[in-house]
Structure 1
Amino acid sequence: MARGTNQKFKFSYLMQIMQEKTDDEHAITMPQIMEELEKYEVTAERKSIYADFQDMTDKFGIEIIKEQIGRETYYHVGSRKFELAEVKLLIDAIQSSKFITQSKSRELIGKIKSFVSEHQAKQLQRQVYINDRVKTMNESVYYNVDDIHTAINENKKIKFKYYKWDINKKLVPRHNGDWFVVSPWALTWDDENYYMVAFDDLDQQIKHYRVDKMMRLSVEVEKRAGKDAFKNFDMAEYSKSTFGMYQGKKTRVKLEF
């Protein structure tokens, strides 16, 4: 049998074909597999494909199941890193998240759909929609989270511009656009928003900032401050009493009706 021009990529193409074209409800025959390989200008004998199937199972954990139906023998992927129900769960989480923008939601969902076969991806189509919920407009939020983690791990301060929503639903800078320089100590998730908890040198107190309202963030050379303030810090208690509320001194009040 003449060899195809992309023969060295046979194993990669074969693995891609099996993951994209097959699942528990959809299987393909050996002639169909060879036909799919030819689309990539790859030729293969049955014996070599059987060996590749064994390597997929042994080395990559991709189980290839053989099934006899009548006179035909069919093959399909039996297990995946993510089951269809798990992918649906991930998509639901992305769609319901306020801090992920609409464009990023579509991009992430497109990538997640590659975890399942093309047939299963069609089932997800009815789930793939972006509803009318309020979603952030700040695309940099994903990189902010990464930079904040870097600053925490490297014990560095960060600098950023902080914004707020105006009456026209546009983000406008706080404090006349001045730079905020703080020491990040934790990232937490509350009410579908990411918050950074940090120590403010100027006010000498712990403050929190919504990550989707932070822009032009950079990691500074200066070491963090606030180690003593966070020595006995209880994130669970702080979250319960602070997020969604204005900062300030806690005071017991008496109301008369």
Structure 2
Amino acid sequence: MEKVSNNVKFCTFVNILRTYSNEDVSLSTKEINHHMKERLGLTLDRRTIYSYIKDMRHMGLEVSDYNKEKEGYYLVDSYFKEYELKLLMDSVKSSKFITKKKTEELLEKISKLNCIYRGRIVKSDVLIEENSKSTNDKIYDHMEIIRNAIDINKKITFNYSDNQVDTSKINPIYMINDNDYYYLVGHKDNIDDIFYYRIDNMTDIKILEEYAETGGSNGTEH
């Protein structure tokens, strides 16, 4: 069997405590080694566990001393409280620009932000209103393309599904969130007006080789 480095062992140990423990759930040496065996095919002796906990504390991670009542160790919860996760989930559910599919994916990820045991009990009471959701599954890809264009100061082209107008050579300036939608703010060559485009209505976005031009003053929403 290939030898496992100490760095991999340590990182796996940290991940086990982070995933399976909190102030309510301690992990015994036996339970820690059960997870180590499953992940790496090895176990840790008590001296190594003490050493790893000491290293974690040096890194600023708060690990409990051995809890005699619960017979184990736990990583002090430095993440979200249940009500905080619930607020995040409710916000995602009520956001119009996030599609139903993406909403479900994000809710699953949010539920796992904390210890695995807490993730199971955090649920949102807000219903997903499919009619109020965006139907553009590529909005995050589009936002990434726009962000890249802004970062490298390049023009973009795209089609706007709201009116099927080909808006070529837009100089992107920034993106904003307004009334639960994301908008691209930009201007066209030789036109003073500033234009606002709802990103969930944009398709076929491409970054051009031409550098973006500065300008624009008056606001126009599409």
Structure 1 residue 47, shift from structure 2 partner: 0.7
Aligned CA distance change for structure 1 residues 45 and 108 (closer, same or farther; 3 Å): same
Matched, 1:222 2:221: no
Q: How far apart, CA to CA, are the structure 1 residues paired with 2:33 and 2:27?
A: 10
What do residues 90-144 of structure 1 show as CA deviations (whole Å, max 9, x unaligned)?
A: 22222221111111122222223332111100111x3287511511111111121
Q: Percent identity?
A: 26
Matched-pair contact (CA < 8 Å) for 2:80–2:114: yes
Q: CA deviation at 1:87?
A: 2.9
1:38–1:228: structure 2 CA closer, same or farther, 3 Å change rule? closer
- 1:174 matches 2:164: yes
TM-superposed deviation, 1:20: 1.6
TM superposition shift of 1:163 = 0.4
Structure 1: where are the runs of 5+ without partners?
165-172, 248-257
- Specify whether residues 128 and 51 from structure 1 end up closer, same or farther in structure 2 by C-alpha distance, changes over 3 A only: farther
Conserved 8 A contact 1:29-1:73: yes
For the Cα contact (< 8 Å) 1:156–1:219, is it kept in 2? yes
Where structure 2 has 5 or more consecutive residues not aligned to the other structure, the ranges are none
Normalising by the residue count of structure 1, what TM-score does the alignment of the two structures yield?
A: 0.74
Contact 2:26 2:71 survives alignment (8 Å): no
State TM-score, norm by structure 2.
0.85
Q: Are the equivalent residues in 2 in contact too, given 1:157–1:182 (CA < 8 A)?
A: yes
Cα deviation for residue 83 of structure 1 reads 4.2
Amino acid at match of 1:11: F
Aligned to 1:96: 94
Offset, 1:179: 4.8
**Correspondence 1:1-257 to 2 at 5 A:** 7-8=4-5, 9-40=8-39, 41-59=41-59, 61-70=60-69, 73-124=71-122, 126-127=123-124, 131-133=128-130, 134-164=132-162, 174-175=164-165, 178-201=166-189, 204-225=192-213, 227-230=214-217
Q: Indicate conservation of the 8 Å contact 1:10/1:42, yes or no.
A: no
8 A Cα contact 2:111 2:120, kept in partner: no
Partner SS for 1:68? coil
Alpha-carbon distance between aligned partners in 1 of 2:125 and 2:33, rounded to the nearest angstrom: 33
Give the superposed CA RMSD: 2.6
Structure number, greater radius of gyration: 1
Aligned partners of 1:64 and 1:77 also within 8 Å: yes
Amino acid at match of 1:217: I
Contact 2:37 2:43 in 1 (8 A): yes
| Compared CA separation, residues 132 and 183, structure 1 to 2 (3 A) | same
Change (3 A) 1:116 1:36: same
The separation in 1 between residues aligned to 2:211 and 2:138, in whole angstroms, is: 24
Aligned partner of residue 168 in structure 2, secondary structure? strand
Mapped partners of 1:186, 1:7: distance in 2: 46
Provide the secondary structure at the position in 2 that maps to 1:77: coil
Equivalent pair of 2:155/2:207 in contact (CA under 8 Å):
yes
Q: Distance in 2 between matches of 1:193 and 1:52?
A: 46
Secondary structure of the residue aligned to 1:114 is: coil
